[in-house]
Amino acid sequence: MAKLVFIRHGQSEWNLSNQFTGWIDVDLSAEGVKQAQNAGKLLKETGIQFDQAYTSVLTRAIKTLHYALEECGQLWIPEMKTWRLNERHYGALQGLNKAETAEKYGAEQVHIWRRSYDTLPPLLKATDAGSAAQDRRYSQLDPRAIPGGENLKVTLERVIPFWEDHIAPDLIAGKNVIIAAHGNSLRALTKYIENISDDDIMNLEMATGQPVVYDLDQQLQVINKTKLD
């Protein structure tokens, strides 16, 4: 039976300063490094032997994966990075302080932007400062694929092709897979594999640096789910 492990990256520098991050590439905080290392220690205790690792192209997720794998002695396993596992793109909210944004637009509106399944944030144009269209790591993408902002529904739509093409075939083949990514890309995958409704997914929170372990059968049905903390 294949095992699938999710780890939301440890606390980032912008988590610490309460800023909308999205596709902006920020590093882990000192606490985030400790959380990632602790995740690896918890995984070591399980004895899971991984065959494949996946992560985003953002530093905070990549480093979380590496710290965790190093702690459990598996830094050597094959690894693939993909933009499809990036955090949800927060559009023109990226870089703004969350509390100050709530004061300006109202807490209810900010809650809708953050947690609604299908409401988009204010969008960035490709020519705006901070647009991912200016970032070299996305230079090989069709410009139409680079978002100016996303909700969870759009995030799910970009994550699922990668699931279908890479992650699911690994699991069906019986491989153990670890994914270090972000709160919303992991919420999207969780919604998909657990068949969570559009309304209920709004209340799901992915804890930072705490591995979630799934046992999946060959039809990729969830047999068991364990949160390690």
Q: Which residues are catalytic?
A: 9, 87
Provide the whole-model pTM. 0.96
Helix 59-71 to helix 30-46 angle (10° resolution) is: 40
pLDDT tens per residue, range 48-106: 999 999 999 999 999 999 999 999 999 999 999 999 999 999 999 999 999 999 999 99
Q: Which residues contact 46 (CB under 8 A, 6 or more apart)?
A: 213, 228
| β pairing state of 177-181 and 2-8 | parallel
Over the chain (229 residues), the average pLDDT of each successive run of 10 is 96 96 97 98 98 98 98 98 98 95 93 90 90 93 95 97 98 98 97 95 92 96 95
Q: Return the ∠ at Cα 57 (arms to 185 and 60), rounded to 5°.
A: 75
**CA 57 from centre of chain:** 11
d(CA 35, CA 57): 20
Q: Return the ∠ at Cα 215 (arms to 174 and 201), rounded to 5°.
A: 125
